[in-house]
């Protein structure tokens, strides 16, 4: 079977491609910008397709290239854009549009084209990566959180629409892997309000993916993988 993973160029998406290959999947990965590390995925046999999700025509090209694979059984919508709310009000709408296209419009467009292909294969799944902060939105990240919440809502609607042929679930990460720009003070502040008091790493997300793939009676579910962090923000 084949999986499509978006945002495969780095961090979680890169890791999920590696794990899926190791588990016996054929993998197509979408990336926005070329990076030297992508050679590692190509060496594993991952089909990599460049697409900028702010450009609908490039999303369409990705969708139609992926639809050629009759064995498509999984889509993981992982691609993400993240930054604080723009300080200049004139920039906030442009920022919102960019986040909307990455988090909502691109997954919607891919699902439209690829859902019929998924439905032809047994136990097909769509997994949307969202964020625990959709339940406790912070004004500083309003555009990011709002569009991630929109992605969650679209996934829940799709779970009803595509059942029983395709299962649709979401994973809500917490502090699994800090960004390079997060200084030590910020990291300690976050972990101090996380009951398990540690950074999770990427493996727990893969374990959640495995659960969703293996449990054939789950659709419309959301799994928090956050060390309990959501208890402090909701």
DSSP one-letter string for 111-144: HHHHHHHHTTSTTEEEEEE--GGGSS--GGGHHH
Give me the number of domains the chain comprises: 1
Question: How many CB atoms within 10 Å of residue 181?
Answer: 7
pLDDT by position in tens, the chain (length 234): 999 999 999 999 999 999 999 999 999 999 999 999 999 999 999 999 999 999 999 999 999 999 999 999 999 999 999 988 999 988 999 999 999 999 999 999 999 999 999 999 999 999 999 999 999 888 888 999 999 999 999 999 999 999 999 999 999 999 888 877 677 787 888 888 899 999 899 999 999 999 999 999 999 999 999 999 999 876
| DSSP3 helix / strand / coil % (the chain, rounded to 5) | 45, 15, 35
Instruction: Give the structural domain span for 32.
Output: 2-232
Whether 37 contacts 60, CB under 8 Å: no
Any idea what the CATH number is for the domain that residue 191 is in?
Answer: 3.40.50.720
Active site residues: 144
pLDDT the model gives residue 162:
98
User: What's the token pair of residue 70?
Assistant: 């009759």
């Amino acid at each position: 079977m084949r999986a499509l993973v978006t945002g495969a160029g780095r961090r979680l998406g890169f890791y999920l491609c590696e794990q899926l290959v190791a588990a016996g999947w054929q993998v197509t990965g979408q990336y926005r910008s070329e990076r030297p590390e992508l050679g590692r995925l190509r060496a594993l046999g991952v089909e990599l397709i460049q697409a900028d999700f702010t450009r609908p025509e490039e999303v369409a090209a990705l969708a139609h290239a992926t639809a050629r694979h009759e064995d498509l059984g999984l889509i993981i919508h992982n691609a993400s854009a993240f930054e604080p709310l723009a300080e200049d009000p004139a920039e906030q709408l442009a920022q919102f549009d960019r986040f909307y296209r990455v988090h909502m419009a691109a997954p919607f467009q891919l699902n439209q084209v690829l859902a019929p292909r998924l439905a032809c294969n047994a136990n097909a799944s769509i997994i949307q990566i969202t964020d625990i902060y959709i339940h406790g939105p912070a004004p500083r990240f309003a555009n990011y959180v709002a569009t991630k919440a929109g992605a969650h809502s679209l996934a829940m609607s799709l779970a009803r629409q595509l059942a029983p042929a395709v299962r649709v679930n979401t994973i809500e990460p917490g502090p699994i892997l800090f960004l390079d720009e997060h200084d030590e003070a910020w990291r300690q502040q976050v972990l101090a309000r996380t009951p398990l008091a540690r950074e999770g790493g990427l493996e727990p997300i893969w374990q959640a993916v495995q659960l969703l793939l293996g449990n054939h009676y789950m659709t419309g579910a959301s799994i928090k993988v956050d060390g309990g962090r959501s208890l402090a923000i909701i």
